[in-house]
Structure 1
Amino acid sequence: MAQWVEAGLWGLAGGGALVVGALVAWFVRVPRDVVAVVMAFGAGVLMAAAAFELVDEAEQTGGLLATAAGFCGGAVVYVAANVVLARYGARHRKRAADQPSEAQQAGSGTAIAVGALLDGVPESVVLGVSLLGGGGVGVAMVVAVVISNVPEGLSSVAGMKQAGRGPGYVFGVWGAIAVASAVSAALGNVLLDGASPQVVAVISATAAGAILAMIADTMIPEAYERARLYTGLCTTAGFLTAFVVERLG
């Protein structure tokens, strides 16, 4: 099997976890409290993946400057995309005492989908690059991607479904993100063969920046409105789970 094909399959596996979460949310009536708990757990997993699998490795290989540039860039791009969504009425945040409107519910789901795309593409590129030189994809990285992507798909589709989005829209969005992940991994393997460590560091840190911005702006606020006091515990559990997987991998 060609290496770029293998890279594409790994990217598809990571992106496919988003579709799995979407399928669960679409066909199973998951209580909102459960969605909130899963979202909080996924936020913790994403934090650990960003810190240990992306930022730390980026700094070690490409240096602090490249890492900081990519990290800030990823956050800025995500926030800018979220501002555009808000401007068109898809504001995902709401006061705890308010009832969510359809636009707010759709906005929450769409914001998470945007975050999944912005972190999933560079994350998949990193997976493809990791195969260069005969190296294998790190088990810890793949597990972290899958563990975090399932809650992302679940929580996002739950909001889209409640807002009345049809299956064509929902699965079109997540299917496209899964395909984009596969293509990104394959292209990363082909185009970044021989690329400087600084370039790879910027790509990895960009994913981390988008992840952290999404967690702070979307996942934690949404989870807290339902899970309340359990949010911190669930997020901590997710972080610890990903950290243990990374250390044992």
Structure 2
Amino acid sequence: MAEILVAGGWGLLAGSALVLGAAVGFFARVRPPVVAAVMAFGSGVLLSAVSFELIGEAHEQGGMVPTTIGAVGGAVVYTLADVWLARRGARHRKRSGGQQPSEREQAGSGTAMAFGALLDGIPESIVIGTSLLGGGTVSAVTVAAVFISNVPEGLSSAAGMRRAGRDPRYVFGLWGGIAVISGAAAMLGYGALGDAPPGLLAGITASAGGAILAMIADTMIPEAFADAHLWIGLITVIGFLTAFALSQA
């Protein structure tokens, strides 16, 4: 039980960055190029974590076949769910400009964005929990990568919600709830998968990596490119190297 609570604590910590970013994005008037630059940095951090901590770890656990099946499966599930949510108003849930629809413009878009936030956050949190399996310590790189990337996600999305006229109670209730669910997902990742065979665990880890990679390409990089396209490549590489340096420390 103590280990499960520890997993939940790490997941909650990583998820709390969403609330931190949302507070900055909602109350501060952050210039769009700054939001884009932070989003590009977060994309690089997550790309590094997916490469070395998720896909690389999955390959070591179960080999190429479970890794490939898991990664493709995770990307397919994410993409299909994202398409469904996009048709209901959550297509631009991470955009900081005026792209997000208000509830008056598209009824049900608030609920769709809430489900979209869950779709983006749960795979990351499950992986935080599974990193504790086998009696080891939590993957500091994974926690750091999720935390760092969650700040610009919350910032950009909350700025867009403010522009769309969303009530502060909705905004912070949403991100606070996602932070709590992130902790619960990390507990689930640890508690439910403790006896999983290596091949299955590899597939689940890789599926989270595939879903996160699809999310980066579909939501984070477009937001970064919108206002920082001349610098996005350099900033993304810096984020990637930052996470890589943490993994080698």
> In the alignment, residue 248 of structure 2 is paired with which amino acid?
R
Q: Is 1:103 aligned to residue 73 of structure 2?
A: no
Residue 27 (structure 1) shift: 1.9
TM (norm. structure 1) is 0.86
Q: How far apart are 1:23 and its partner, in Å? A: 1.4
Partner of 1:131: 132
Distance change in 2, residues 1:78/1:113 (3 Å): farther
1:199–1:154: structure 2 CA closer, same or farther, 3 Å change rule?
same
Q: Per-residue deviation at 1:101?
A: 4.3
Deviations along 1:54-93, one digit per CA (max 9) or x if unpaired, are: 0110111022121112211221122222212332355439
| Distance in 2 of aligned mates of 1:148 and 1:26 | 17
Per the TM alignment, residue 9 of structure 1 is displaced from its structure 2 partner at its CA by 0.6
Q: How does 1:38-53 map to 2 (within 5 A)?
A: 38-53=38-53
Q: CA deviation at 1:36?
A: 0.7
Using the TM superposition, give the Cα deviation of residue 116 of structure 1 relative to its aligned residue in structure 2, in angstroms: 5.4
After superposing the two structures, state which structure 1 stretch, 190-199 or 51-60, moved more: 190-199
Aligned: 1:61 with 2:54: no
2:98/2:163 contact within 8 Å kept:
no
Give 3-state SS (helix, strand or coil) of 2:29's partner. coil
Name the SS for the 1:103 alignment partner. Answer: coil
Larger deviation, residues 40-49 vs 181-190: 181-190
The residue number in structure 1 matching 2:186 is: 185
CA distance 1:70–1:235, shift in 2 (3 Å): same
Asked if 1:149 corresponds to 2:147, the answer is: no
Q: How many residues align?
A: 242
Distance verdict in 2 for CA 1:73–1:212, change over 3 Å: same
Per the TM alignment, residue 169 of structure 1 is displaced from its structure 2 partner at its CA by 2.1
8 Å CA contact 1:75, 1:206 repeated in 2? yes
Please tell me whether the aligned partners of residues 21 and 154 of structure 1 are also in contact (alpha carbons under 8 angstroms).
yes
Report the Cα offset of residue 132 of structure 1.
3.1
* Counterpart residue identity of residue 2, structure 1: A
Any unmatched runs of 5+ in structure 2?
none
Moved more, 135-144 or 122-131: 122-131
Structure 1 match to 2:247: 246
In the aligned structure 2, how far is the partner of 1:22 from the partner of 1:34?
A: 15
Alpha-carbon RMSD: 2.7
1:21 pairs with 2:21: yes
- 1:236 partner letter: V
- C-alpha distance in 1 between matches for 2:86 and 2:111: 11
SS in 2 for 1:80: helix
1:204-228: CA deviations, max 9, x gaps? 1122111111221222122111112
CA distance in 2 between counterparts of 1:51 and 1:91 reads 26
